[in-house]
């Protein structure tokens, strides 16, 4: 009886493992060409220290999406670097950022583009890019770092 139970358990584990592994490469056939423009984060020092993390906005960019269905949209990207200056493990990611716009709305990142996020130890750093998609006639006004219910840091954004 124990052997049957052991064999059944082993087969069940193998079955669950086989069902949960995803080896297929999912690729998108959407071809998006971009036309580059310029956007700047207007702050003399793009580095702030929040929650024992030194967060730096390394660069920013805006691209016009020239895809038929999204031709009236622009992609704004902000490259972020966070350094852990505490003694504890810290974490940061795409989900922690929001973008305020000229029409008064707050926009979440667009997760159809590459996202980042992880925890890291004392002295380590993590770099990633946050992407926001806005309508062509809407411009960003402020990038916010909001890891919880409260905005902890913000940077004024100006398009050139």
Average pLDDT for 4-8: 58
Q: What is the band of 142 on the pLDDT scale with cuts at 50, 70, 90?
A: very high
Tell me the per-residue pLDDT of 75-115, one tens digit each, with 9 for 90 and over: 999 999 999 999 999 999 999 999 999 999 999 999 999 99
| Residue 158: per-residue pLDDT | 83
**Residues in Cβ contact with 109 at an 8 Å cutoff, skipping those fewer than 6 apart:** 94, 95, 97, 98, 99, 115, 130, 131, 132
Helix (H) or strand (E) holding 14: helix 2-20
| Residue 36: per-residue pLDDT | 41
| Residue 21: per-residue pLDDT | 44
| Residue 159: per-residue pLDDT | 76
Instruction: Write down the mean pLDDT value for the chain.
Output: 79
Domains and CATH numbers, the chain: 34-159 (2.60.40.1240)
Please answer whether residues 69 and 155 qualify as being in contact, where contact means their C-beta atoms are separated by less than 8 angstroms: no
What is the C-alpha to C-alpha distance for residues 74 and 138, in angstroms, rounded to an integer? 9
In angstroms, the Cα distances linking 118 to 91, 93, 96, 127 are 6, 6, 11, 10
Q: Between 13 and 52, whose confidence is greater?
A: 52
| Residue 1: per-residue pLDDT | 67
Tell me the per-residue pLDDT of 33-57, one tens digit each, with 9 for 90 and over: 444 444 445 445 689 999 999 999 9
Does this model's pTM top 0.85? My answer is no
In angstroms, the Cα distances linking 79 to 1, 5, 126, 156 are 59, 53, 11, 15
Q: Which of 60, 152, 149, 156 is nearest to 102 (CA)?
A: 156
């Amino acid at each position: 009886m124990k052997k049957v139970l052991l064999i059944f358990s082993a087969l069940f584990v193998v079955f669950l493992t086989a069902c949960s592994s995803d080896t297929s490469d999912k690729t998108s056939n959407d071809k998006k060409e971009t036309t580059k423009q310029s956007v700047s984060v207007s702050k003399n020092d793009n580095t702030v220290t929040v929650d024992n993390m030194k967060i730096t906005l390394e660069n920013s960019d805006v691209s016009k999406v020239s895809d038929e269905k999204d031709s009236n949209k622009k992609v704004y990207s902000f490259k972020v670097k966070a350094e852990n200056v505490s003694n504890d493990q810290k974490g940061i990611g795409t989900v922690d950022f929001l973008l305020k716009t000229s029409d008064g709305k707050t926009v979440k990142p667009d997760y159809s583009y590459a996202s980042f996020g992880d925890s890291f130890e004392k002295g380590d750093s993590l770099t990633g890019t946050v992407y926001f998609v806005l309508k062509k006639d809407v411009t960003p006004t402020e990038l916010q770092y909001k890891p919880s219910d409260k905005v902890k840091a913000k940077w004024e954004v100006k398009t050139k």
